[in-house]
Chain A
Amino acid sequence: MVKEIAHSLREYKRVSVATPVLVTFEVLLECLIPYVIALLVNEIQDGCGLDVILTYGAILVAMAAASLVFGVSSGITCASASSGLAKNLRKDMFYKIQSYSFQNIDKFNVSSLITRMTTDVTNVQTAYMLLIRLVVRSPLMLIFSFIMAFVMGGSLAWVFVAVVPILGIGLAVIVIKTVPLFHRAFRKYDKLNNSIQENVKAAREVKSYVREDYEQNKFGAASHDLRKDFQKAERILAFNQPIMQFCLYVVMCAVLSFGSYLVIDSMGLNLNVGELSSILTYGFMMLNSLMMLSMAFTMIAMAGESGKRIVEVLTEESTLKNPAEPVFDIADGSIDFEDVSFKYSENAERQALSGINLHIASGETIGIIGGTGSSKSTLVQLISRLYDVSEGCVKVGGVDVRQYDMDALRNGVAMVLQKNVLFSGTIAENLRWGNKDATDDEIREAAHLACADEFIERFPDKYDTYIEQGGANVSGGQKQRLCIARALLKKPKILILDDSTSAVDTHTDAKIRKAMREYIPETTKLIIAQRTASVEDADRIIVMDGGSINDIGTHEELLKRNAIYREVYTSQNKEGHDLED
């Protein structure tokens, strides 16, 4: 995990290294200052003159200034390094997600990816900041103070050696005990938040089923459960302070009693008053740094969970790979399915598609009809290699889709998805997704073919009309027509419309189909529809049922021989009372 995250440091390696170096100097000075102070105190005690005090004062001020410089600059480099790491982590995740296949995308849901890119990255950023500053600072402080204590107090400093293990063990036990507890508690926290989110989204359901009390009880129980875990962990963590105080006080008392004996007994030879007080100062510094260290460890360990979630995204490998020697040119718009079967995941029991054999000539118009869950969308998604077949092969222009360069294939096969999305930006910007170099004339032509020009021209800003996120300010039918225009701009060899005109009125629907027949006759067109009216005039119609092809034929043929097709047709075209017969 550390390796993957460290990989994202890149240009911030230098500041990352500079920070601990600067911190080292800062700590060095921080430890020397009490030493100089001790000397000064001794001088004062010996009744020195003001000139000596001023000399020491000048040295101390210079040291404080240097320490300030190092402290501030380490703060600056640390801020750069940690913010930089966070930036690169977010960037790497986003770029990685861009390389995901549909299968990868299905695996993560959007809200979980957002949490990983925001909250989790922030946690890692905080932990990293602690790591390069505090985790360097505390042990250094510990070592320097220890050395200084020895220099100053000699054998008296052994007192510290005696308590440090007690403290170390105590703090280690706390960290070991609390980390798994926090781990569990945070998972429960996630679940609780998830259930709040569900409750908020389903507010109408909760109210119309009058389930307020039920929801309150459910939430109360989960909330209480969460509190118990957090409380347990934090109660253990709260022993940090007393343990450290205990050690500090033991040292203080030991140093004081034993130290005063030494001072008086040796008449200041083995230890003088100034040294005694500076040992106390160093003792305090040592213990303080240990305490910080244990806090930092707890926080870093907690951030480990976030780190894992980030690495999951970074190490997820796209299930689709570009071939070593890709084919860039698509000969024509012919499509062949040969013994194709497909499962969404390897352990899925159900075959989404099985035994598909299908040959579509270039320029044909094919309609596809079938019930919910009959795998119509799955079938067409194999053509532009949004998923790879489990068995058999799909060919476009006579070449297996797995041999094409993926971008080349997807530019040749335009797909208007069922769950379609427009992005915030002007209409023209949205349409240019199909071809970013399209001229204004080309855009107008595509809009005209998709019957979108009529309403675009009615907007005051026409093609510069701003589309809100998700296309919230245009109606469903308008959105679908814009999406079709966007796909047409690609000038594809194959055009796939996956239930793309469901919200368009039948009249406009027919007009769009007519335009496509006349203006792009050489393009192979696949139209998935709920309405038989949308596919009636297709060259051939495929009837899908339960993941396999039930029948293929023209409208008239199917009406005569295919029960499913007839039933769909009847349900949409006959009068209500006829149905009841």
Chain B
Amino acid sequence: MKTEKRNKGVLIRLFKTVYSFYPVLLPVAIACISVTAVVGAVPAIFMQRVIGGISAAFDNQTPWAEAGPAILNDVYILIALYVTSIVTGTVFGQLMTIITQGTLEKLRDKMFNGMQKLPVKFFDTTGHGDIMSYYTNDIDTLRQLISQSAPQILVSGITVLSVLVIMLYYCLWLTLVVLTGTAVMLVVTKKIGGGSARYFVKQQQAIGEEEGYIEEMLTGQKVIKTFCHEREAEQGFDEVNGKLYEASRRANRYANMLAPALFNIGNVLYVILAVVGGVFLIPRLNVPNVSISGMAISISVVVPFLNMAKQFTGNINQVSQQVNSVVMGVAGTRRVFELVDRPPEVDDGYVTLVRAREEKGRIVECEERTGVWAWKHPHHADGSVTYTKLCGDVRMFDVDFEYEEGKPVLRGISLYAKPGQKVAFVGATGAGKTTITNLLNRFYDIADGKIRYDGININKIKKADLRRSLGMVLQDTNLFTGTVMENIRYGKLDASDEECIAAAKLAGADDFITRLPDGYNTFITGNGANLSQGQRQLLSIARAAVADPPVMILDEATSSIDTRTEAIVQRGMDALMKGRTVFVIAHRLSTVKNSDVIIVLDHGRIIERGTHEQLLEQKGQYYQLYTGAFELE
């Protein structure tokens, strides 16, 4: 009961949404389809009148010249009705494709734009396959629902109602017979359709399972080959594949059975009607008719009634065929709304980053590029504005953080990074190194403590401006489909080709890029599948270099680059970041050795800090790591 109510809510909301997109087109389309449906049902009356006219003429032996005009008159009305139906039908068809495709585009955009504003947490905690499913499967079921099922149900519903009225116009008794038959059809639909829906759900599960198996095996395909493990992989596959076959066969079997079952119930109903009609026609029984028209039961009531019964059951059949797609459409629609409804990342920051220039020791905001940036800090109390020069001074005081309640990841972290310093984090996987950087750019918000950036509480800084001031290079490099040049330019959209090439040189990427078939115009697809992990990292560093940020976070940014190339990259980066703050996370200790301060983390706490030399002298954890007595896990 509850789910039914919720389902209704979803459908009403979908209707309202479509209406808000097309406040004019949608009512016009609905009007058109209604006219089409009604006009489609009415001809039955005129057809009956024509046939009645023929029968009468036939019985009375009236010649065509006399009977003809009256009959043709009805035919002309029919033609008029048909023309109306075709015109409204065509208009509806055209409008509906516009409405359907337009709605899909707008919903897609709504989902995507909404998704861009979601916090990082959403991307971290939602499976990527699951996210893709919003844009593919769910949108697909929605398309089916809007463009096919809904109009079909509307048309059939109107037709069924009109036919019902016409049937009552002729005879109540026969109508009751038809309604009884309809009840039987609905029960059958529920039984067979329910079975089919159940197995379709099973089929979806089986597909998910099989996809998982294929993914695991194909990801490890090279290992399978080197171990000659092909036969075993095939056996495992046969098992999951067999399950999917079973579910799919049953689901389709039920679905295929529904149409013939309903069709033949319709036929039997037809026979019953004929028999009942025949009984009524027996003169000596003299059954009194109950009808709107007040006609007595006669041959000219029974015959058209049979045709209408056919139309009636045919439409019920049509609606029944939509059961699966409506059920799936409602589920898809609900998911789409669920994504659209997700609350966006909150941003209460009001301190903004502006270009500035120094005049007589004072910071003045300006339009042109000066290389100097300042924090613009409006004060609500007196309406004044102060400017603070962006230096890259970062301090943390007693910071606590947890991703999940009750599982603290960082505890009492206090640290400072003075402008121009290089600060390194070292520690085992899960020690909290990456988490610290996640807090700096506010991908996540701290639970307790304070973070100050150039003396400003980072919660007061507008997120976009905060992030613009922090460059990030991550271990897992993500590139976009496009040329190498475009990928570097992602760091600064208005960068010239020269700027991009300069950045690539700085990052040590120029060397391999120029050796690619089309150099900087080489097209990258599939996240740079044709590049090595090291080359991708070099590109990612070039991308950060062209952005030229005051503070940089390098999270295992050089882990796949060999030590010789790394030394080259390091020299370039050191030149770029001279006088700016750098945070480095690295597994390889040779990467962090020359840092101003190295912070050793263990289970979310700082256990050691100091320069490389100081830490070696302490002979603590760092010393053990450095001498290789410990594994960084």
Asked if residues A202 and B480 are in contact (CB atoms below 8 Å), the reply is: yes
Q: A86-B245, A419-B222, A506-B628 are in contact. Are A264 and B214 (CB under 8 A)?
A: no
**Across the A-B interface, the 7 shortest Cβ-Cβ residue pairs:** A71-B260, A506-B628, A75-B256, A238-B93, A505-B631, A53-B278, A202-B478
Query: Does B330 reach chain A (CB closer than 8 Å)?
Result: no
Query: Does A407 reach chain B (CB closer than 8 Å)?
Result: yes
Chain A 529-573 near chain B by CB (<8 Å), digits 1 or 0: 010010000000000000000000000000000001001100110
Asked if residues A260 and B267 are in contact (CB atoms below 8 Å), the reply is: no
Asked if residues B527 and A201 are in contact (CB atoms below 8 Å), the reply is: yes
Which of B111-119, B363-371, B397-405, B447-455 lies on the face that meets chain A?
B111-119
Query: Does A442 reach chain B (CB closer than 8 Å)?
Result: no
Q: A50-B278, A118-B207, A260-B54 are in contact. Are A68 and B474 (CB under 8 A)?
A: no
Chain B 219-244 near chain A by CB (<8 Å), digits 1 or 0: 11111111111101110011001101
A211 vs B211: C-alpha distance when bound (angstroms): 32
Asked if residues A53 and B226 are in contact (CB atoms below 8 Å), the reply is: no
Q: A207-B467, A231-B98, A417-B222 are in contact. Are A201 and B128 (CB under 8 A)?
A: yes
Among A63, A83, A264, A384, contact of B249 (Cβ-Cβ < 8 Å): A83
Q: A68-B264, A79-B256, A227-B104 are in contact. Are A205 and B474 (CB under 8 A)?
A: yes
Among B252, B562, B593, contact of A530 (Cβ-Cβ < 8 Å): B562
Query: Does A135 reach chain B (CB closer than 8 Å)?
Result: no
Which B230-282 residues have a C-beta within 8 angstroms of A? 230, 232-234, 237-238, 241-242, 244-245, 248-253, 255-257, 259-261, 263-264, 267-268, 270-272, 274-275, 277-279, 281-282
Asked if residues A53 and B234 are in contact (CB atoms below 8 Å), the reply is: no
Query: Does B68 reach chain A (CB closer than 8 Å)?
Result: yes
Query: Does A150 reach chain B (CB closer than 8 Å)?
Result: no
Smallest CB gap from A229: residue in B: B101
Query: Does B132 reach chain A (CB closer than 8 Å)?
Result: yes
Asked if residues A571 and B86 are in contact (CB atoms below 8 Å), the reply is: no
Query: Does A514 reach chain B (CB closer than 8 Å)?
Result: no
Q: A75-B256, A235-B97 are in contact. Are A212 and B529 (CB under 8 A)?
A: no
Query: Does B58 reach chain A (CB closer than 8 Å)?
Result: yes
A238 vs B90: C-alpha distance when bound (angstroms): 8
Query: Does B57 reach chain A (CB closer than 8 Å)?
Result: yes
Q: A54-B275, A242-B90, A276-B54 are in contact. Are A371 and B565 (CB under 8 A)?
A: yes
Asked if residues B123 and A265 are in contact (CB atoms below 8 Å), the reply is: no
Contacts of B90 in A (CB 8 A): 238-239, 241-242
Which B550-597 residues have a C-beta within 8 angstroms of A? 560-567, 587, 590, 593-594
Among A64, A84, A129, contact of B267 (Cβ-Cβ < 8 Å): A64
Which B101-131 residues have a C-beta within 8 angstroms of A? 101-102, 104-105, 108-109, 112-113, 115-117, 120, 123, 128, 131
Among B223, B228, B274, contact of A40 (Cβ-Cβ < 8 Å): B274
Q: Which of A45, A102, A204, A433 has the most CB of B within 10 A?
A: A204
A110 vs B89: C-alpha distance when bound (angstroms): 46
A181 vs B135: C-alpha distance when bound (angstroms): 21
Asked if residues A44 and B278 are in contact (CB atoms below 8 Å), the reply is: yes
Asked if residues A79 and B53 are in contact (CB atoms below 8 Å), the reply is: no
Question: Closest Cβ of chain B: how far from A431's Cβ, in Å?
Answer: 11
Smallest CB gap from A435: residue in B: B227
Asked if residues B260 and A417 are in contact (CB atoms below 8 Å), the reply is: no
Which of B288-296, B301-309, B377-385, B499-507 lies on the face that meets chain A?
B301-309
Interface size class, chain A: 35 or more
Asked if residues A57 and B221 are in contact (CB atoms below 8 Å), the reply is: no
A54 vs B85: C-alpha distance when bound (angstroms): 39
A76 vs B192: C-alpha distance when bound (angstroms): 13
Q: A129-B252, A219-B112, A223-B112 are in contact. Are A110 and B244 (CB under 8 A)?
A: no
Contacts of A508 in B (CB 8 A): 631
Asked if residues A117 and B221 are in contact (CB atoms below 8 Å), the reply is: no
Question: Closest Cβ of chain B: how far from A495's Cβ, in Å?
Answer: 12
Smallest CB gap from B304: residue in A: A277
Q: A37-B306, A72-B260, A114-B218 are in contact. Are A201 and B478 (CB under 8 A)?
A: yes
A477 vs B628: C-alpha distance when bound (angstroms): 13
Contacts of B535 in A (CB 8 A): 372-373
Q: A98-B234, A245-B85, A575-B593 are in contact. Are A114 and B211 (CB under 8 A)?
A: yes
Chain A 33-64 near chain B by CB (<8 Å), digits 1 or 0: 10001001100110111100110110011011
Asked if residues A110 and B218 are in contact (CB atoms below 8 Å), the reply is: yes
Asked if residues A260 and B527 are in contact (CB atoms below 8 Å), the reply is: no
Q: A223-B105, A475-B429, A567-B564 are in contact. Are A505 and B132 (CB under 8 A)?
A: no
Question: Closest Cβ of chain A: how far from B191's Cβ, in Å?
Answer: 13
Q: Which of A60, A63, A129, A205 has the most CB of B within 10 A?
A: A205
Q: A219-B112, A256-B47, A349-B517 are in contact. Are A576 and B102 (CB under 8 A)?
A: no
Asked if residues A61 and B271 are in contact (CB atoms below 8 Å), the reply is: yes
Q: A76-B256, A208-B472 are in contact. Are A264 and B57 (CB under 8 A)?
A: yes
A134 vs B421: C-alpha distance when bound (angstroms): 73
A129 vs B562: C-alpha distance when bound (angstroms): 55
Question: Closest Cβ of chain A: how far from B51's Cβ, in Å?
Answer: 6
Q: A64-B268, A211-B490, A506-B628 are in contact. Are A197 and B132 (CB under 8 A)?
A: yes
Query: Does B355 reach chain A (CB closer than 8 Å)?
Result: no
Contacts of B89 in A (CB 8 A): 241-242, 245
Query: Does A252 reach chain B (CB closer than 8 Å)?
Result: yes
Asked if residues B128 and A44 are in contact (CB atoms below 8 Å), the reply is: no
A94 vs B219: C-alpha distance when bound (angstroms): 13
Q: A60-B267, A61-B268, A86-B245 are in contact. Are A203 and B93 (CB under 8 A)?
A: no
Query: Does A91 reach chain B (CB closer than 8 Å)?
Result: yes
Chosen A-B contacts, 19 in total, with CB atoms closer than 8 Å, are A60-B267, A72-B260, A113-B218, A118-B210, A195-B481, A197-B132, A223-B105, A224-B105, A235-B94, A235-B97, A239-B90, A241-B90, A245-B86, A249-B85, A260-B68, A264-B64, A276-B54, A423-B216, A505-B632
Q: A56-B274, A200-B123, A227-B104 are in contact. Are A210 and B467 (CB under 8 A)?
A: yes
Asked if residues A71 and B101 are in contact (CB atoms below 8 Å), the reply is: no
Among A63, A67, A83, A207, contact of B120 (Cβ-Cβ < 8 Å): A207
Contacts of A97 in B (CB 8 A): 218, 221
Asked if residues A78 and B252 are in contact (CB atoms below 8 Å), the reply is: yes
Query: Does B78 reach chain A (CB closer than 8 Å)?
Result: yes
Asked if residues A216 and B120 are in contact (CB atoms below 8 Å), the reply is: no
Smallest CB gap from B253: residue in A: A79
Contacts of B560 in A (CB 8 A): 372
Asked if residues A95 and B82 are in contact (CB atoms below 8 Å), the reply is: no
Question: Closest Cβ of chain B: how far from A279's Cβ, in Å?
Answer: 12
Question: Closest Cβ of chain B: how far from A230's Cβ, in Å?
Answer: 5
Among B78, B253, B593, contact of A76 (Cβ-Cβ < 8 Å): B253
Asked if residues B53 and A83 are in contact (CB atoms below 8 Å), the reply is: no
Query: Does B205 reach chain A (CB closer than 8 Å)?
Result: no
Among B547, B565, B628, contact of A209 (Cβ-Cβ < 8 Å): B547
A476 vs B632: C-alpha distance when bound (angstroms): 9
Smallest CB gap from B134: residue in A: A196
Asked if residues B93 and A33 are in contact (CB atoms below 8 Å), the reply is: no
Asked if residues B58 and A241 are in contact (CB atoms below 8 Å), the reply is: no
Contacts of B590 in A (CB 8 A): 571-572
Contacts of B517 in A (CB 8 A): 349
Among B216, B223, B490, B629, contact of A420 (Cβ-Cβ < 8 Å): B223
Query: Does B161 reach chain A (CB closer than 8 Å)?
Result: no
Question: Closest Cβ of chain B: how far from A219's Cβ, in Å?
Answer: 5
Contacts of B237 in A (CB 8 A): 91, 94
Chain B 508-535 near chain A by CB (<8 Å), digits 1 or 0: 0000100101000000001101001011
Query: Does B327 reach chain A (CB closer than 8 Å)?
Result: no
Query: Does A411 reach chain B (CB closer than 8 Å)?
Result: yes
Q: A201-B527, A202-B480, A249-B82 are in contact. Are A265 and B249 (CB under 8 A)?
A: no
Query: Does A424 reach chain B (CB closer than 8 Å)?
Result: yes
Question: Closest Cβ of chain B: how far from A432's Cβ, in Å?
Answer: 10
Q: A60-B267, A207-B120, A256-B75 are in contact. Are A105 and B563 (CB under 8 A)?
A: no
Query: Does A434 reach chain B (CB closer than 8 Å)?
Result: yes
Asked if residues A350 and B51 are in contact (CB atoms below 8 Å), the reply is: no
A384 vs B223: C-alpha distance when bound (angstroms): 12
